[in-house]
Amino acid sequence: MHELSVTDSLLKLAIQHATAAKAARVTELHLVVGQLSSIVDDSVQFYWDMISQGTICEGARLNFRRVAATMSCLDCSTTYTLNGELSACPQCQSERVIIKSGEEFYLDSIEVETDHDLEKASV
């Protein structure tokens, strides 16, 4: 259920930036989600559809870009991508590894329409 609080923060951030840009409405959000982040796309979308109602973000499309988990072995310096669950180094079998990527969750960009865009579209 942590997706609700994450989605609420995402909505507040989108509204803040859209308001600063004098946007009439937000049309798309581009999110980056790491393989290990435990964020479930469908849950974020579900909560987004619910809590964005009545805001300038209502109806905005969420685009999820998944980032693979990349590990680095502290013993042999091998860097590898996880194919599933956490695993030992494929080169030396060491479990002394660090996560290089895959824990990300952030808003990469927002697409908006301004009143000027809406005027041009209705002409």
Segment 37-95, tens digit of pLDDT: 989 999 999 999 999 999 999 999 999 999 999 999 999 999 999 988 888 999 999 99
Cα–Cα distance measured from residue 120 to residue 47, given in angstroms and rounded to the nearest whole number:
32
Q: Residue 108 class from Cβ within 10 Å (0-12 exposed, 13-18 middle, 19+ buried)?
A: exposed
**pTM for this one?**
0.83
Report the percentage of the chain scoring pLDDT > 70: 93
Listed range (2-11, 17-26, 100-109, 113-122) with the worst mean pLDDT: 113-122
Domains of the chain, by residue range, sit at 2-114
pLDDT band at residue 1 under the 50/70/90 scheme: low
CATH of domain 2-114: 3.30.2320.80
Task: List CB contacts of 112: < 8 A, sequence separation 6 or more.
Answer: 18, 21, 23, 24, 25, 26, 27
